[in-house]
Amino acid sequence: MNIERLVTMANDIATYFTVEPDHAVAVEGVRDHLTKFWDPVMRRQLKAYLEQGGEGLVPLAREGVEKLILPPIAGN
């Protein structure tokens, strides 16, 4: 998928959690939101993008994405 779009969406999520005073809670908030609402394909793509540098991701989004646990690729 269009990675810029995924980056914007992840940043939007991180922006919401930025206000959370407890940093660990904020990071978990981003991770949990991505896990609950994003299709694994999108999560996998974003994590791969982060691993290649993740340009454009805001710091909290980076931390949340880094902690993503990805499910195995679904069979056909």
Partner 1 sequence: MLSIVEIDYGTPKATSKTTVELQVDGKTVRVPQGTSVMRAAAQAGINIPRLCASEMLDAFGSCRLCLVEIEGRKGYPASCTTPVSEGMTVSTQTPRLADLRRGVMELYISDHPLDCLTCPANGHCELQDMAGVVGLREVRYGYEGANHVYAKTPAGEANPRFVAKDESNPYFTFDPSKCIACSRCVRACDEVQGTFALTIQGRGFDSKVAASQDNRFLDSECVSCGACVQACPTATLSEKSLIDKGQAEHSVVTTCAYCGVGCSFRAEMKGEDIVRMVPNKDGQANHGHSCVKGRFAIGYASHPERITTPMIRAKISDPWKVVGWDEAFAHVASEFKRLQAAYGRQAVGGITSSRCTNEETYLVQKLVRAGFGNNNVDTCARVCHSPTGYGLKSTLGESAGTQDFDSIEQTDVVLVIGANPTDAHPVFGSQMKQRLRAGARLIVIDPRRIDLVRSPHIQADYHLKLKPGTNVAVLDALAHVIVTEGLVDEAFVSARCEPEAFAKWRAFVAQDKYSPEAMEAETGVPADLVRGAARLYATGGNAAIYYGLGVTEHAQGSTAVMGIANLAMATGNIGREGVGVNPMRGQNNVQGSCDMGSFPHEFPGYRHVSDVATRALFEKAWGVPLLGEPGLRIPNMFEAALDGSFRGLYIEGEDIAQSDPDTQHVTAALSAMECIVVQDLFLNETAKYAHVFLPGSSFLEKDGTFTNAERRVSRVRKVMAPKAGYADWEITQKLAQAMGYPMHYSDASEILDEIARLTPTFHGMSFDKIDQLGSVQWPCNEEHPNGTPVMHVDEFVRGKGRFMLTEYVPTSEKVNAEHPLILTTGRILSQYNVGAQTRRTANVMWHDEDRLEIHPHDAEERGINENDWVGIRSRSGDTVLRAMISERMQPGVVYTTFHFPGSGANVITTENSDWATNCPEYKVTAVQVTRVNQPSDWQKRFHAFSDQQQDLLEQAQSADTLGPA
Q: Binding residues for partner 1, per CB under 8 A?
A: 1-2, 5, 9, 12-13, 15-16, 18-21, 33, 36-42, 71, 74-76
Closer residue to partner 1, CB minimum distance, 53 or 71: 71
Give the whole-angstrom CA distance, residue 7 versus residue 5.
5
Q: At closest approach, how far in Å is the CB of 51 from partner 1?
A: 19
Q: At closest approach, how far in Å is the CB of 68 from partner 1?
A: 12
Number of residues that this document lists for the chain: 76
- Tell the residue number behind the tokens 């299709």, with chain if given: 39
3-state SS class at 33 = helix
Nearest to 65 by CA among 23, 18, 11: 11
Closer residue to partner 1, CB minimum distance, 16 or 51: 16
